[in-house]
Structure 1
Amino acid sequence: MKILAQKTVKTHIISGFLGAGKTTLLQHLLQQKPEGEIWAILMNEFGQIGVDQQLLPQDSGYEVKELLGGCLCCAGQLPMQIALSRLIQEKQPDRLFIEPTGLGHPAQLLEQLTEPHWQSQIDMRALVTVVDGSRLHDEAFIQQDLFQDQLKAGQIVVVSHADSMNDADQQKLHHFKTDYLTSIQTWLLAEQGNIEISQLDVPHQGIQRKVVPLIQVQKQLPADAEFPVIKQLPYHYVETSNGYTVAGWKFSKRWKFDFYDLLDVLCEQKDWLRIKGIFNTNQGWMTFNFNPEDLNYKSGEESLDNRIEIIIQNTADSDHRDWESFETALLNCRIDQAEINQ
């Protein structure tokens, strides 16, 4: 008897802070289910009494499973693993939506579900983060670590309550789009969750960061030598995603730089989309946040290290970018006498 291979289930993680509008979005998406398909929903409530499940369709063709208590995003959540496996095996859905609690960290859940164990069962789609557009002007709200973690995890961001956004909200949204240029593929404005499933039906793309020694150190290694495993500062890294490349450097916080020399080096750069950095300088700790419209720098809090990232758009010439000259210019701004590899 021929055994048919099990189909992989298109799987969407719908994350977002408390009250962002995840369930409203999910309700709208579920209305788009083609006749004859089975769609499944795995929901997670942090408390012991589930409410959201009662707001979703109870009709034939929908399978809803709710996990109560705790957070399915946290590593080692065996109940989530069991519930998800049973849901897929028993119901064999055509599409699956996973809605973590608003207190969850979706990056951890995504990491679990992209492990080899799940690849024969799950066809992971781009992670969706829902944010309340009408609260973007609230600095205390958007500066919360959990809000930031959820936004960073998203590859598609659905901005809910778009019809209630004021000018300050719109301005903050513009800044977010610039800040997350390389990680977030798409921003969608939604009123009452009116997003089409086709807009979210995008494959998940993992971002690989290649962490390597400083370019100066690389040049000292034999041509056929493997790069050493980087376990401490300083180091250089490169990551590519969505048609952009991020080149970054991290140095020890003990290294000190001449502020004006550093500012000159940054201002001399060309063909970049974003420069962000924080440095220990002879003028104190300084942050740099450059975009083509605004070269902003100001005093900042002490950081764990000196760091800088430059974002460029990938072109035929981007592979030949002279990062060595930039690194050399950065290191020439140092005013302390520490050895490079200290």
Structure 2
Amino acid sequence: MTNVNLITGFLGSGKTTTLLHLLAQKPPNEKWAVLVNEFGEIGIDGALLAESGAVLKEIPGGCMCCVNGLPMQVGLNMLLKQAKPDRLLIEPTGLGHPKQMIAMLTDAVYQPWLTLNATLTLLDPRQLSDTRVTDNENFRDQLAAADIVIANKQDRWQPADQTALAEWQQQYLGDRQLVRAEYGNIDPALLDTPRRNLRQLPDARHHHAPSQTKSGLAALRLDHNARWRRALNQGQGYYACGWIFDQDTVFDTIGLLEWARLAPVTRVKGVLRIAEGLVSINRQGQDLQIETRASAPPDSRIELIHENDVEWNNLQTSLLKLRLETLA
């Protein structure tokens, strides 16, 4: 029997960082698996989680709670039958609606295979002052689905954020457990909390084009001798553009960080090779985090998300100029 938890949360709430902390505390005698989905096609989280020690499967390009849940079913069935994990952590896209996913995981067909424990929903209280976030149906429905709300990034809160969190807790969170955290560092014992939130969720009203389930890492790969490629995606009121570069591509460090900082988009996330080694970039609004990493994925990937369409070609031209290697 596999213990399953959903780790949900809106864009930039810290889901991947939280997963990394949880996986770092995995008991050595247990096998854990992660089923991860991203809005874009590039698959950044797979690169970030690749060295976590868990069995990893990605579902790229959309949300696995849509389209009758078929990509979700395929990925879930493969993990349960092939990996037979003791625990499965599912990270839906920050733009995903949890209703169909919870319905699927509690369906009678899966009862002999898994136990759905508490759903953990990440919340950055600083987003509570942004009506573009708080008016989003998925944001509200993710909180409605939560058994435990993780108020993350406490180290960056201002007094106004704490006030907004207290108001939301009183008005919307009800009796749900609220845990405050920094950098997604939470007690793994929370994963064993039983599922108690049995409220009926509203129906999802967004639609998304079907996505194809890919095995293992790398939602998008390079073809043959291609040095790089781009992928676009849109839905649920958001637009995404991502790029993947081969393992020989190295970027100018200062130029890359400035490009990520100044890009006119809401969300930037990537893992890229630089002259000094490897850097992960995570930007939500003006909040930019960078971290050097010891291990490298087989390529470089970066994804941008915004509420409106963007001049992606202009951003691409600037990004390509930051490559250091000699181009053929």
Match of 2:152 in 1: 160
Is the CA contact (8 Å cut-off) linking 1:156 and 1:200 kept in structure 2?
A: no
Q: TM-score, normalised by structure 1?
A: 0.55
Residue identity opposite 1:16 in structure 2? G
Match of 1:44 in 2: 37
Match of 2:287 in 1: none
Match of 2:186 in 1: 195
Gaps of 5+ in 1: 1-7, 210-342
- Where does 1:69-148 land on structure 2 (aligned, <5 Å)? 69-74=61-66, 76-148=68-140
Residue identity opposite 1:121 in structure 2? W
CA distance in 1, matches of 2:160, 2:10: 20
How far residue 174 of structure 1 moved from its aligned partner, in angstroms, is 1.0
How far residue 180 of structure 1 moved from its aligned partner, in angstroms, is 3.3
CA distance in 2, matches of 1:128, 1:27: 14
- Where does 1:221-236 land on structure 2 (aligned, <5 Å)? none
Is the CA contact (8 Å cut-off) linking 2:143 and 2:173 kept in structure 1?
A: no
CA distance in 2, matches of 1:82, 1:143: 32
How far residue 13 of structure 1 moved from its aligned partner, in angstroms, is 0.4
How far residue 155 of structure 1 moved from its aligned partner, in angstroms, is 1.2
CA distance in 1, matches of 2:105, 2:42: 26
**1:31 is aligned to 2:24:** yes
How far residue 27 of structure 1 moved from its aligned partner, in angstroms, is 0.5
Match of 1:16 in 2: 9
Bigger RCO of structures 1 and 2 (CA < 8 A, at least 6 apart): 2
Is the CA contact (8 Å cut-off) linking 2:128 and 2:161 kept in structure 1?
A: yes
CA distance in 1, matches of 2:99, 2:181: 23
Is the CA contact (8 Å cut-off) linking 1:43 and 1:67 kept in structure 2?
A: yes
CA distance in 2, matches of 1:126, 1:36: 22
- Cα-Cα RMSD: 1.7
CA distance in 1, matches of 2:97, 2:199: 20
Match of 2:51 in 1: 58
Indicate the SS of the match to 1:77. helix
Is the CA contact (8 Å cut-off) linking 2:125 and 2:164 kept in structure 1?
A: no
Gaps of 5+ in 2: 201-328
Is the CA contact (8 Å cut-off) linking 2:2 and 2:88 kept in structure 1?
A: yes
CA distance in 2, matches of 1:37, 1:57: 17
How far residue 75 of structure 1 moved from its aligned partner, in angstroms, is 5.2
In the TM superposition, what whole-angstrom CA distance separates every residue of 1:191-226 from its partner, at most 9, and x where no partner exists? 0111011023211125267xxxxxxxxxxxxxxxxx
CA distance in 2, matches of 1:192, 1:208: 29
How far residue 49 of structure 1 moved from its aligned partner, in angstroms, is 1.1
Residue identity opposite 1:30 in structure 2? L
Is the CA contact (8 Å cut-off) linking 1:15 and 1:130 kept in structure 2?
A: yes
Indicate the SS of the match to 2:149. strand
After TM superposition, which residue ranges in structure 1, 4 or more long, deviate above 6 angstroms?
Answer: none
Q: TM-score, normalised by structure 2?
A: 0.58
In the TM superposition, what whole-angstrom CA distance separates every residue of 1:1-21 from its partner, at most 9, and x where no partner exists? xxxxxxx11101011111110
Residue identity opposite 1:22 in structure 2? K
* Pairs aligned (count): 200
CA distance in 1, matches of 2:116, 2:108: 12
Indicate the SS of the match to 1:76. helix
Which structure has the larger Rg?
Answer: 1
Is the CA contact (8 Å cut-off) linking 1:133 and 1:164 kept in structure 2?
A: no
CA distance in 2, matches of 1:120, 1:202: 19
How far residue 152 of structure 1 moved from its aligned partner, in angstroms, is 1.2
CA distance in 1, matches of 2:194, 2:172: 19
Is the CA contact (8 Å cut-off) linking 1:29 and 1:197 kept in structure 2?
A: yes
